[in-house]
Amino acid sequence: MPCTVADVLTVAERLWPADGAESWDAAGLVAGSRTASVERVLLAVDAVLETADEATGSGAQLLITHHPLLLRGVTSVADDRYKGAVVSRLIRGGCALFAAHTNADVVETGTSAVLADRLGLEDVAPITASAGDPVRGIGRVGRLASPTTLGRLARELADLLPATAGGVRAGGDYDRPVSRVALCGGAGDSLLSSPAVRAADVYITSDLRHHPASEALQEARLGAGPALIDVSHWASEWLWLDTAAAQLRDALPGVTVEVSELRTDPWDFAVVQR
Ligand SMILES: [Zn+2]
C-alpha cells in the first residue's frame, strides 16, 4: 500500500509529539491532503519560494519545514505575496506542507540536542526541562569532553555549521577557558537569565539583539555569566534536518527523504570593514 501524508504525520507525531509545542506555535499540516500518496519528502528549515520550488521540482509530495509558514495571522493567500505564492506553488505542484517546530525543539533528538551532540557535549540536559520530563525541554547544557577556549569553540562552530554571510560572532575574551556550554538552536535570548545559562562558560544561540547581549556580557565582565556566541538562526537548525531525515527513512521504508541544501538564511553577503 502506498505511503500517504497521513502515514508520515503518524510517524511525525511519534517523533515530535504535537503536545510538546509551545501554546503560540502553529506546527502541523499547513497545506495539502492527508490522503495524498507520498514517495518523496523534502526537509528544509524554511518554507520559502526557493524550497517550495525545490520540493515541487524534485517531485516531492511533502515538504517538511522546521518553521511554520502560517505562524502569524494572514488574510490572503493571493499568489502575488510571499505566503500565498508558497502555498499556491505547493498546491499546484501537488506537494503538501508540514511543520515540526517547537515540538521538534524539545525532544531528545531535537534541534538543540543535535547541535550539542555535534559539539560532543557530555552530561547533556535541557536548559529548561519540560514539565515532568527531565530529558525533554528547550535548549541544552553540557560539558565539553576537552576544555577549550572561546575563540577555538567559535572556530569549531564556524567549521561545523553551513556557511552564512554573518558567520559566527563571539562576545568575550578570545582566550577565555570554556568547558560548560549552554546552547539553544534558533532565537534563544529568552533563556539568557536561566540559571543553567548563567552557570555556563559560554552560551551559543542566534538572533541576539544589542541590549540583551550587551547586558549579559557586562554581567560576564563582573564574573557572573557566560560569554556569548551568536550564530545564524538557519544554520543552527539546519543541522537537525539530517537527524530528522534519518529518523523518517527508518520509519518509512520505500519513501525517499532528502534534505534541502539551499541556504535560507536571509543574509546574502557581508562586507568586512577596514
Ligand atoms: Zn527557528
Residue pLDDT, tens place only, 47-56: 999 999 999 9
Mean pLDDT of the chain: 97
How far, in Å, from the CA of 274 to the mean position of ligand 1? 32
Averaged over 214-225, what is the pLDDT?
94
pLDDT at residue 131, rounded to an integer? 86
**What does the buried/exposed string (b/e) look like for 169-192 if buried means 16 or more CB atoms within 10 Å of the residue's CB?**
ebbbeeebebebbbbbbbebbebb
How far, in Å, from the CA of 205 to the mean position of ligand 1? 11
Rounded-to-integer distance, Cα 215 and Cα 21, Å: 29
pLDDT at residue 91, rounded to an integer? 97
Contact by Cβ (8 Å): 260, 120: no
Longest Cα–Cα distance of the chain, Å, equals 64
How far, in Å, from the CA of 198 to the mean position of ligand 1? 22
| Other Cβ atoms closer than 10 A to 263 | 18
pLDDT at residue 1, rounded to an integer? 77
Rounded-to-integer distance, Cα 274 and Cα 27, Å: 44
Rounded-to-integer distance, Cα 110 and Cα 89, Å: 29
How far, rounded to the nearest angstrom, does the alpha carbon of residue 58 sit from its chain's CA centroid? Answer: 23
Q: What is the pLDDT of residues 160-204, one digit of tens each?
A: 999 999 999 999 999 999 999 999 999 999 999 999 999 999 999
238 SS3 class: helix
For the chain, the straight-line distance linking the first and the last C-alpha, in angstroms and rounded, comes to 62
pLDDT at residue 132, rounded to an integer? 85
pLDDT band at 213; cut points 50, 70, 90: very high
